A = this chain, B = another copy of it.
Amino acid sequence: MIITSKKAIMFVLSKIEGAVLMAKRGMLIVLSGPSGVGKGTVRKALFEDPEVDFNYSISMTTRNPREGEKNGVDYYFVSKEQFEENIKNGEMLEYAKYVDNYYGTPLNYVNEQLNAGHDVFLEVEVNGALQVRANCPDGVFIFLTPPDIKELRSRLVGRGTDDLEVINKRIQKASKEIRMMQNYDYAIVNDKIKNAVEQIKDIVKSERLKVNRVMPDYLDSLGDEI
């Protein structure tokens, strides 16, 4: 009798373990922000942190490598024809053209990693982030913002080198940029790189605890027979 019960339980256990072996889909983490805000610097510092346990999706571009840049490390450097072929075949998660060159995120790597249960990190321009959001609404969208207007204004007034018109133009540009944050989940200020890195790590740790991310695993573990 007892052996039968144990067998029954072990059968259920093996089914549960089977379910768990089907890895949970990873989480997509997107860092974006206005151009010049320092996204690349924050991303580099982030991936130098030994605690970071998610993967960076390397962008693809048609621009020429700069000195020291390596294919498959800094970017995937491809021809314009290759890039346009990828676009045509639906192989780009997002892309944009700047000054006659394409920049974008190959879909393949991102999907492979997510399907294998790994979290993937992208650093993209604001238009790219909107494209990713449309395709992957359950991603985590982080906006790297310039310091707030009050601080910017004090700084500009304080240094006393610009007249009111110049100050107002700078303020207007920053104001427009800050309003972009409404398309994101989180906003972090790029004042100190170290802080920005810690905040991204906090966000990722916290997002992994979201009920809508962990609940399917718990429900799986409940099984149908209960």
Contact = CB atoms under 8 A, between A and B. Distances in A.
A223 B175 CA distance: 10
A85 interface: no
Interface stretch (A89-97, A105-113, A117-125, A209-217): A209-217
A187 B203 CA distance: 15
B6 A157 contact: yes
A145 B186 CA distance: 26
A143 to B, nearest CB: 7
Given A5-B163, A164-B8, A226-B171, A150 B16 contact: yes
Given A150-B13, A218-B149, A211 B226 contact: no
Interface magnitude class on chain A: 35 or more
A29 B20 CA distance: 31
Contacts of A218: 145, 148-149, 178, 181, 187
Interface in A168-215: 168, 171-172, 175, 178-179, 181-182, 184-188, 199, 202-203, 205-207, 209-211, 214-215
B226 A210 contact: no
Contacts of A8: 164
Contact of A215 (B153, B187, B215): B187
Interface of A: 2, 5-6, 8-10, 12-13, 16-17, 20, 143, 145, 148-150, 153-154, 157, 163-164, 167-168, 171-172, 175, 178-179, 181-182, 184-188, 199, 202-203, 205-207, 209-211, 214-215, 217-219, 221-223, 226
Q: Which are the 10 A-B pairs with shortest beta-carbon distances?
A: A206-B206, A5-B164, A149-B221, A150-B221, A202-B205, A186-B209, A148-B221, A203-B206, A202-B206, A16-B150
